[in-house]
Amino acid sequence: MAEVRSIHEKALADLLRAMDRGAIAEEGRRWIPGTPGKTSGSRWGVLYAAFPCRTLPPDHELIIGTIWKIERRISAGGQPVGIGWMKDGMWVAITLDNLGEALLTRDEGDAAVRYLYSTINHGPPLYSWCEERGQEPGSESTSGDRQHLWTPVAVGRFVRDLLVMEEDDTLHLARGTARVWLEAGQKVGVKDMRTHFGRVSFGISCDWEERTIGGFIRIEEGTAPHTALHIRLPEGWKINGDTDRNDLAGGWIEADIFRWERLTGEVYFSAGIDCQRRQ
């Protein structure tokens, strides 16, 4: 193990040096290119440095700069443009698999879930996404695989991660759900999702008349050292942390997150919310 650890540490140090030396400086930012020191080529895989490889922390300047670079050109349909080999094309798998997942790790759920809707709008799941395509509806300009099965896999994983996502010893729930899902009065959750911490189920919903949000979390066959349930209320609404109606079953409120430690079994919770909408 000592030899393996030494090889890993040396390779990681070499990779970090290469990423730093090969980064492109532009308008006061630095971003990771597909090839060190070159601005040409695709952006595929560059944000893997944030997720899932965790080579750099999500708040590292190179991650921030790379997100900025990828988002510099956005199509009318909400997709980054020119991140593959087509100058004016879109590679929608990268949008979720690279960019969306990186945004989730940065807790930028609103931006992340917008890309989910945009990606789904550019091709039916499990059917006819092409690898790259033009921006116009029904575009005949394509490149790469005509049926790019990586894209539906990216969609499936992203939907899973916006609902249930492991990060070190923390179980994140509802990290990237669309705010309108709770606003519509529906229950948001999953049932028997396999995770690193056991089988997870949860459900949350809002009662706007009673000004409460409530639900449950159930973890079977394991324990989550830390659990973070992200309460993604519609714009203008917030959790009321001072009300005596709050019952988090041993958990606590931290901004817009409900947190628990060593959670196992089943817990039910409720909390007050301020429901004053903007007029």
| Reported pTM | 0.92
pLDDT tens sequence across 119-171: 988 876 555 677 888 888 878 888 877 777 888 889 999 999 999 999 999 99
Strand positions, DSSP E, the chain: 24-26, 29-31, 132-133, 142-143, 164-167, 170-173, 188-195, 198-207, 212-230, 238-240, 252-254, 257-274
| DSSP strand pairing (164-167 vs 170-173) | antiparallel
First vs last C-alpha separation in the chain: 62
pLDDT per residue as tens digits for the range 171-225: 999 999 999 999 888 899 999 999 999 999 999 999 988 889 999 999 999 999 9
Domains and CATH numbers, the chain: 2-163 (no CATH), 168-274 (2.60.420)
Amino acid identity, position 195: T
Residue 220 corresponds to which amino acid?
A: E
How far is 60 from 120, CA to CA, in rounded Å? Answer: 29
Q: What is the largest CA-CA distance in the chain?
A: 64
Quote the pLDDT of residue 277: 56
Distance CA(48)–CA(102), nearest Å, equals 8
What does the pLDDT read at residue 140? 81
Per-residue pLDDT tens over the stretch 248-276: 889 999 989 999 999 999 999 999 998 76
CA 256 vs CA 149, 191, 232, 238, 273: distances in Å: 36, 23, 7, 7, 11
50 pLDDT tier (thresholds 50, 70, 90): very high
Two tokens, residue 260: 């628990």
* pLDDT above 70 for 246: yes
| Average pLDDT of span 226-231 | 98
Instruction: Please name which of 19, 24, 75 lies closest in space to residue 49, comparing C-alpha atoms.
Output: 19
Per-residue confidence (pLDDT) for residue 92, from 0 to 100 = 87
Average pLDDT over residues 14-43: 92
Q: What is the pLDDT of residue 168?
A: 94
Name every residue whose Cβ is closer than 8 Å to that of residue 45 and which is 6 or more positions away in sequence: 34, 98
CB environment 211-250: b (16+ within 10 A), e (fewer): bbbbbebbbeeeebebbbbbbbbbeebebbeeeeebebee
Each residue of 56-66: pLDDT tens digit? 999 999 999 99
Q: Which residues pair with 193 in a beta bridge?
A: 200
Burial (0-12, 13-18, 19+ Cβ within 10 Å), 4: exposed
Is the pLDDT at 279 greater than 50? The verdict is no
Q: Which residue has tokens 């790469």?
A: 144
